């Protein structure tokens, strides 16, 4: 070990609270980092006497030997340039580092853990205490050494110096798990269970990774500032967008116990109470549940939530079209491979099949293929971009969660069927870009969900996105589709369900307009001097503001009501509703 071990941390945090806590769980360990230290007379050497590099033509291996009998690294060569090469006697050899073999002389080499010693010690102690718990645990190991510390003239590299610097760097610049991975790896999170389940479902949708739905789900972004926005042209959504939406609208106690209805916890209360320390089913929410309840909750998520999410992110018209466009692009790559285009084969095998994008480490020709050959094949309607915004997709999940929880509670309709109903209705209007429901700079979208060209992200704006999307169900085409769908699927109580949904949409429209009126009044009062009013009106307002506050307030209210009336009329036209049916006068 490189440093002292905190045995209290090992025993309490790692062994008791992680390794020994429950069964049927994924046990995840990041790699430990192990350094290779060369010894001479039981003392750490400062440099290697000789480093021999040679090509073994019999096995097509590159072999690098340190001090003849200390250790060696064998690298199988490849004909393809994978970005890694070694020059020996004027010849360049390409190799794949993932195929490397490390061999060492245990009498003259020590392997020292420089990062991960607490994980390593916990596994060693548990191996003695309860070996069965470790039968499915795998511990990745990253082996590092100093490949240039040779005692040659003019060489300043040193084994001890380099490893010391490495230790300091690792232990001072380590970062917490971030980006999509924090959402994927959480143990005690219903939302994380759900996105893992969806990712698994999409991965299994096709045995060919290039054709699986997982290509349309971004799950491997490590940067927080990019995790909540769709980065790839052919992606539909990200695990962080979905996880955040589920935490806010499906599994949060703030949403009136939706998780109890969505997960049908009433049906499994007995199963959830098998452990004496388990919490009551009604108290379960996003991160509030006992370890013994996790397998049952995960089963409910797989059965009820995952199929609904699959519908929400594959059946809407814009998501379906981007999926079809991607598959056409993959088919074109397959044709190019059949035509003998090597770059197409390498791009598909080494990039697309691994669910990644090219980086600077990829060959220039492969990066060029991605940019010039593949990306242009995936097309997206410019007017569809709004449907890929974080706020829209979270609104979509929020609308579904609200409808699904209530329909499950009052009518026994499962979440997946509610998702089908929502998508069927939205496809008739809200998902049609030519209807321009979510255009910027409209009287009813400005101030509330947009500010100029900027998407607003405040809580009131996120709520407004949900309310506007819910209100769109009042539009006649959507409304009629709701009626017909209910007749087709739930004829016995379709009128009752329809009445409930109509009331839900009508209330959402009222909330949206009420909040819009507040925002317009606030903007007009605070920013009247910069509004596009006539000069004479501005002069009058300035005079009233100084000499007659009551007249000033009356004028401001009149101006705000005029702008609000225009917004209501515009929204009424968009929704194909009679403006007279919408009460716009507000005080």
Decide if pLDDT at 368 tops 90: yes
For range 401-417, the mean pLDDT = 95
- How much of the chain exceeds pLDDT 70, in percent? 93
Q: What is the pLDDT of residue 221?
A: 85
Question: Among 13-17, 195-199, 231-235, where is mean pLDDT lowest?
Answer: 13-17
- Alpha-carbon gap, residue 351 to 375, rounded angstroms: 13
Decide if pLDDT at 584 tops 50: no
Query: Which has more confidence, 151 or 477?
Result: 477
Structure confidence at residue 254 as a pLDDT band (50, 70, 90): low
Q: Are 358 and 367 in contact, with CB atoms under 8 Å apart? A: yes
pLDDT in tens, 536-569: 888 888 888 888 888 889 988 889 899 899 999 9
Structure confidence at residue 405 as a pLDDT band (50, 70, 90): very high
Q: What is the pLDDT of residue 193?
A: 92
Q: What is the pLDDT of residue 160?
A: 79
Top-ranked range on mean pLDDT: pick from 147-151, 292-296, 388-392, 558-562? 388-392
Q: What is the pLDDT of residue 256?
A: 66
pLDDT in tens, 130-157: 777 777 777 889 998 888 888 876 677 7
Q: Which two tokens stand for residue 574?
A: 């968009």
Question: Among 24-38, 47-61, 106-120, 383-397, where is mean pLDDT lowest?
Answer: 24-38
Structure confidence at residue 117 as a pLDDT band (50, 70, 90): confident
Query: Which has more confidence, 418 or 186?
Result: 418
CA atoms 155, 158, 163, 164: torsion sign? negative
Decide if pLDDT at 23 tops 70: no
Structure confidence at residue 528 as a pLDDT band (50, 70, 90): confident
- Alpha-carbon gap, residue 345 to 342, rounded angstroms: 5
Q: What is the pLDDT of residue 3?
A: 54
Query: Which has more confidence, 119 or 249?
Result: 249
Long-range contacts from 138-143, C-beta under 8 angstroms, 24+ separation: 138/29, 139/29, 139/31, 139/32, 140/29, 140/30, 140/31, 140/32, 141/31, 141/32, 141/34, 142/31, 142/32, 142/33, 142/34, 143/34, 143/35, 143/36, 143/102, 143/111
Decide if pLDDT at 586 tops 50: no
Structure confidence at residue 4 as a pLDDT band (50, 70, 90): low
Computed over every residue of the chain, the mean pLDDT equals: 88
pLDDT in tens, 33-60: 899 988 888 788 888 888 898 888 888 8
Long-range contacts from 406-413, C-beta under 8 angstroms, 24+ separation: 406/261, 406/500, 406/504, 407/497, 407/500, 408/261, 408/262, 408/264, 409/261, 410/500, 411/490, 411/493, 411/496, 411/497, 411/500, 413/490, 413/497
Q: What is the pLDDT of residue 527?
A: 84
For range 196-215, the mean pLDDT = 94
Q: Are 45 and 58 in contact, with CB atoms under 8 Å apart? A: no
What's the distance, Cα to Cα, between the start and end of the chain in Å? Answer: 72
Residues linked to residue 62 through DSSP beta bridges, in sequence order: 55, 75
Q: Are 180 and 240 in contact, with CB atoms under 8 Å apart? A: yes
Q: What is the pLDDT of residue 585?
A: 47
């Amino acid at each position: 070990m490189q440093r002292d071990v905190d045995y209290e941390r090992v025993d309490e945090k790692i062994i008791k609270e992680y390794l020994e806590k429950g069964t049927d769980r994924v046990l995840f360990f990041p790699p430990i980092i192990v350094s290779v230290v060369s010894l001479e007379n039981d003392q750490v050497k400062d440099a290697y006497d000789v480093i021999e590099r040679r090509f073994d033509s019999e096995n097509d291996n590159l072999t690098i030997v340190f001090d003849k009998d200390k250790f060696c690294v064998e690298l199988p060569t490849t004909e393809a340039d994978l970005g890694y090469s070694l020059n020996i006697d004027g010849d360049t050899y390409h190799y794949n580092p993932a195929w490397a073999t490390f061999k060492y002389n245990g009498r003259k080499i020590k392997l020292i853990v420089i990062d991960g010693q607490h994980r390593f010690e916990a596994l060693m102690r548990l191996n003695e205490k309860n070996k069965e718990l470790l039968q499915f645990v795998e511990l990745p190991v990253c082996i590092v050494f100093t490949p240039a510390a040779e005692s040659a003239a003019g060489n300043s590299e040193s084994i001890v110096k380099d490893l010391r610097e490495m230790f300091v760097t690792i232990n001072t610049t380590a970062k917490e798990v971030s980006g999509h991975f924090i959402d994927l790896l959480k143990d005690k999170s219903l939302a994380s269970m759900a996105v893992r389940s969806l990712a698994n479902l999409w991965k299994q949708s096709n045995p060919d990774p290039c054709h699986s739905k997982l290509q349309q789900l971004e799950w491997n972004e490590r940067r927080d500032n990019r995790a909540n926005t769709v980065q790839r042209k052919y992606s539909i959504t990200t695990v962080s967008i979905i996880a955040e939406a589920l935490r806010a609208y499906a599994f949060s106690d703030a949403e009136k116990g939706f998780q109890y209805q969505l997960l049908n916890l009433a049906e499994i209360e007995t199963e959830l109470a098998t452990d004496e320390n388990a919490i009551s089913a009604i108290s379960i929410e996003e991160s509030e549940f006992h370890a013994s309840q996790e397998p049952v909750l995960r089963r409910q998520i797989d059965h009820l939530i995952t199929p609904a999410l699959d519908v929400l992110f594959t059946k809407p018209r814009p998501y379906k079209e981007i999926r079809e466009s991607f598959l056409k692009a993959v088919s074109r790559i397959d044709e190019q491979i059949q035509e003998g285009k090597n770059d197409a084969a390498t791009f598909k095998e080494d990039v697309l099949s691994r669910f990644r994008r090219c980086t600077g480490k990829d060959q220039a020709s492969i990066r060029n293929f991605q940019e010039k050959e593949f990306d242009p094949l995936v097309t997206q309607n410019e007017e569809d971009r709004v449907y890929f915004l974080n706020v829209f997709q979270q609104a979509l999940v929020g609308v579904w969660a609200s409808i699904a929880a209530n329909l499950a509670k009052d009518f026994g309709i499962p979440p997946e069927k509610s998702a089908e109903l929502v998508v069927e209705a939205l496809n008739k209007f809200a998902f049609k870009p030519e209807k321009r429901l979510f255009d910027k700079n409209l009287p009813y979208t400005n101030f509330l969900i947009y500010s100029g060209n900027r998407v607003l992200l405040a809580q009131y704006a996120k709520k407004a996105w949900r309310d506007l999307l819910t209100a769109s169900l009042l539009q006649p085409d959507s409304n009629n589709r709701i009626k017909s769908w209910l007749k087709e699927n739930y004829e016995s109580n379709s009128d009752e369900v329809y009445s409930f949904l109509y009331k839900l949409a009508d209330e959402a429209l009222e909330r949206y307009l009420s909040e819009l009126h507040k925002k317009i009044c606030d903007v007009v009062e605070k920013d009247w001097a910069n509004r596009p009013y006539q000069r004479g009106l501005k002069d009058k307002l300035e005079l009233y503001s100084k000499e007659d506050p009551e007249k000033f307030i009356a004028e401001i209210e009149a101006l705000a009501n005029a702008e609000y009336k225009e917004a209501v009329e515009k929204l009424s036209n968009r929704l194909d509703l009679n403006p007279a049916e919408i009460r716009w006068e507000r005080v």
